[in-house]
Structure 1
Amino acid sequence: MAGVVGTEDLRRPGVFALRTLAVAACYYAAGRLGLLLPLVVEGAMLTPIWPPTGVAVACLLIFGLRVWPGIALGVLLVILHITSLRPDVFGTVVGNTAAPVCAYLMLRRVGFRTDLSRLRDGLALVFLGALTAMLISATVGVGLLRLTDRVGAADFWQVWLAWWVGDAMGVLIVTPLLLLLHRARWPLPVARWKEAAGLTVIACAVVPLATRHESGLLFLVFPLMIWAALRFQLVGSMLCALFTSVMATVAATQEAGPFAGLTRIAIMMKLQAFNGTMALTALLLSAVITEQLNTRRSVEQACQELVEVVAHLTAGDPSRLPPPGATGPARHESEEQRREAKEQRREPEER
């Protein structure tokens, strides 16, 4: 017994170290992806969507609070990729680590479910996990930039807003997708694969047109979002939202389509307004549809159980009742037994 306990004690630090390194690697990889399409706002390099915040919140919700060292290590690696090690870097690490941790604690406090099967879960992720918790990272990060004179006083709020929205967008788009992929059941039915392929082909044709046409056809993506939410719930709608956000960000960084001829501030504001509206629509609409489907299944199950109870009471002898769904001789036999029971009850009355 002592040997078994010792082995477990040796394994726990190893598992913790591997999980920490895995979370840090995922955070760093997401950061490198986010830095591929940066926008410069008043001298500060910002990203319209910061995927690492979504990765951090998803890892906390899946593995628990013990993975926060991996998030801190990932933040440090991303910062070192951008700049050199300075004293203010540690403040940024604290802010970017505290924001997802606070998101996790608030979501846990309100009974958040990782399957996002209720509207309240979607609302909690939006208003607590994204909009409220990410105030910490934006305030700490931009505050340090102001203290080190890398952002002027007149530009503080513009940079702060861009930082906050970018972090919030990472939670709104990346976190639901990772949570649902973690719980997904494969494979899908063949008919669903055909419909999914059709939706993918149409999205690949419509989304580039909507995000790069000079006439401003961004509204064309919302019918696709509704289709994806109705047929594939949150997985489909968030994948569609992610693809659209990436294409819109590419168009914004190249100043093409509806973003042509705008200033950097106007481009950032327009892009973030579009991405935020799209992500909120996809998340809340899918949550409502999923909740309605779950309610319908619960009602159907309750009706089925009620039918079985009525059948038991009608038969008079639950032990002789055939199992639900039985057909053929067993069903005819139960009907004959009910007729005999009725005739036996009538005989004393006639006498």
Structure 2
Amino acid sequence: MAAVVGTHELRRPVVVAVQTLAVAACYFAAGRLGLMRRLTVEGAVFTPIWPPTGVAVAALLIFGIRCWLGIAIGALLVVITLASLQPPAIGIIAGNTVAPICAYLMLRRLGFRTDLSRLRDGLVLVFLGALGSMLISATVDVAVLVLAGKIAAHNFWPVWLAWWVGDAMGVLIVTPVLLMLYRIRLPLRAPRWKEAVALALVACVVVPVAAHSPISLLFLVYPLLVWAALRFPHGGSVLCALFASVAATVAATDRVGPFERLSDNELMIKLQAFNGTMALTALLLSAVITEQRNTRRSVELACQDLVEVLDYLTTGNPSRLPPLPPLPPLPPSTDDKGKGRQNEAR
């Protein structure tokens, strides 16, 4: 018994260390991917989508609060690759670590489910996990840059807005995909694999054309999101949204298609408006459809139980009767109370 206890006590720190290193590696890899595409606002360089925020929130929801150190290490590695480790860099690392932790605490406080099977889960992830919590990282990071003299004080709000939207987009687009991938279990069952292949082929044709066409055709992405959400609500819409967002970001940073001949501010507004509305549509529509399907499944099961009860009442076959929950005790009636009082009087 002592050997078994010692093995479990030794295994737990090893698992935590492995999870921490894995989170740090994923955060760093996501940061390097995000830095491949940049935009400029008021002389400050930022990423339209910052995937590490999505990785951090997803890691906290999957592994718990103990993986916060991996987030901090990953943020440190990303900052070191960009500049030397100075006091402003430490402030940025702190902001990028605290914001996902606050998102995790608020989501858990409100009973967030990682399967995103309810509309409230999608709304909480959007307004608290993304838009609300990322206010912390944007405010801290941009304030540190202003205090360090990297950004002029009068450019605080434009840079802050771009920073906040980029961090929020990372949560809206990356976190649902990672949560969906974590729930996948092998072997995969694909009853509609032909339709899935058809959707993927259509998306691979329509999305690049819409993102690179000089005519504004980005609206063609939304029918694909609706198709994916209706037929594959557990992951099709978020994967389609991720692909469309990446294609639009590449086109925007290359200044081609509908993003050609736009100023820096106009380009940022158009790109982030498209990414935000598309991510909201995919996430909330998928949550609504999943919730309705679960409700319909519960009603069907209740109807089956009712049919079995009626069949038992008509045929008298107890083997087909489902177990019924025990009835609560009934309160004493007024007649019983009167009889009890008469007995006490006697």
Establish whether TM, by shorter chain, passes 0.5.
Answer: yes
| CA separation of 1:17 and 1:191: change in aligned 2, threshold 3 A | closer
Q: Are residues 1:290 and 2:285 paired? A: no
| Contact 2:308/2:321, CA 8 A, preserved across alignment | no
Greater shift, 65-74 or 10-19, is seen at: 10-19
| Contact 1:234/1:283, CA 8 A, preserved across alignment | no
CA distances 1:12-34 after superposition (whole Å, capped 9, x unpaired): 22222111111100110111111
Normalized against structure 1, the TM-score is what?
0.89
Residue 45 of structure 1 is matched in structure 2 by 45
Q: Following TM superposition, by how much is the alpha carbon of 1:316 offset from its aligned partner in structure 2, in angstroms?
A: 2.2
Residue 55 of structure 1 is matched in structure 2 by 55
SS at match of 1:40: strand
Amino acid at match of 1:291: E
Structure 1: tracts of 5 or more residues without a match: 324-351
Residue 217 of structure 1 is matched in structure 2 by 217
| Contact 2:238/2:283, CA 8 A, preserved across alignment | yes
| CA separation of 1:313 and 1:137: change in aligned 2, threshold 3 A | same
CA distances 1:212-263 after superposition (whole Å, capped 9, x unpaired): 1111111111001100110001410011111101110011011101111111
Distance (whole Å) between structure 1 residues aligned to residue 253 and residue 230 of structure 2? 32
Q: How does 1:197-346 map to 2 (within 5 A)?
A: 197-319=197-319
| Contact 1:57/1:175, CA 8 A, preserved across alignment | yes
Q: Following TM superposition, by how much is the alpha carbon of 1:207 offset from its aligned partner in structure 2, in angstroms?
A: 0.6
Q: Following TM superposition, by how much is the alpha carbon of 1:43 offset from its aligned partner in structure 2, in angstroms?
A: 2.3
Residue 160 of structure 1 is matched in structure 2 by 160
Distance (whole Å) between structure 2 residues aligned to residue 21 and residue 189 of structure 1? 32
SS at match of 1:49: coil
Distance (whole Å) between structure 2 residues aligned to residue 61 and residue 52 of structure 1? 14
RMSD: 1.4
Residue 137 of structure 1 is matched in structure 2 by 137
Residue 65 of structure 1 is matched in structure 2 by 65
Distance (whole Å) between structure 2 residues aligned to residue 266 and residue 83 of structure 1? 29
Residue 18 of structure 1 is matched in structure 2 by 18
Residue 194 of structure 1 is matched in structure 2 by 194
SS at match of 1:233: coil
Distance (whole Å) between structure 2 residues aligned to residue 153 and residue 178 of structure 1? 37
- In the TM superposition, structure 1's runs of 4+ consecutive aligned residues that sit over 6 Å from their partners are none
Amino acid at match of 1:88: P
Distance (whole Å) between structure 2 residues aligned to residue 214 and residue 122 of structure 1? 34
Work out the number of aligned pairs and report it: 322
Q: Are residues 1:99 and 2:99 paired? A: yes
Q: How does 1:73-88 map to 2 (within 5 A)?
A: 73-88=73-88
CA distances 1:284-337 after superposition (whole Å, capped 9, x unpaired): 111100001111100000000111111112222414x599xxxxxxxxxxxxxx
Distance (whole Å) between structure 2 residues aligned to residue 60 and residue 238 of structure 1? 20
Q: Following TM superposition, by how much is the alpha carbon of 1:40 offset from its aligned partner in structure 2, in angstroms?
A: 2.0
Greater shift, 114-123 or 148-157, is seen at: 148-157
SS at match of 1:37: coil
Distance (whole Å) between structure 1 residues aligned to residue 199 and residue 19 of structure 2? 36
| Contact 2:146/2:152, CA 8 A, preserved across alignment | yes
SS at match of 2:215: coil
Q: Following TM superposition, by how much is the alpha carbon of 1:189 offset from its aligned partner in structure 2, in angstroms?
A: 4.5
Distance (whole Å) between structure 1 residues aligned to residue 294 and residue 285 of structure 2? 14
Residue 126 of structure 1 is matched in structure 2 by 126
Distance (whole Å) between structure 1 residues aligned to residue 69 and residue 190 of structure 2? 42
Greater shift, 154-163 or 181-190, is seen at: 181-190
Amino acid at match of 1:102: C
Distance (whole Å) between structure 1 residues aligned to residue 175 and residue 321 of structure 2? 48
Q: Following TM superposition, by how much is the alpha carbon of 1:131 offset from its aligned partner in structure 2, in angstroms?
A: 0.4
SS at match of 1:150: coil
Distance (whole Å) between structure 2 residues aligned to residue 264 and residue 138 of structure 1? 19
Percent pairwise identity? 69
Normalized against structure 2, the TM-score is what?
0.90
Amino acid at match of 1:126: V
Amino acid at match of 1:208: P
Distance (whole Å) between structure 1 residues aligned to residue 152 and residue 269 of structure 2? 19
Q: Following TM superposition, by how much is the alpha carbon of 1:185 offset from its aligned partner in structure 2, in angstroms?
A: 3.8
Distance (whole Å) between structure 2 residues aligned to residue 228 and residue 317 of structure 1? 45
SS at match of 1:45: strand
Residue 345 of structure 1 is matched in structure 2 by none
| CA separation of 1:197 and 1:317: change in aligned 2, threshold 3 A | closer
Q: Following TM superposition, by how much is the alpha carbon of 1:6 offset from its aligned partner in structure 2, in angstroms?
A: 2.6
Q: Are residues 1:148 and 2:131 paired? A: no
| Contact 2:309/2:321, CA 8 A, preserved across alignment | no
CA distances 1:161-192 after superposition (whole Å, capped 9, x unpaired): 11101111111111111111111244455541
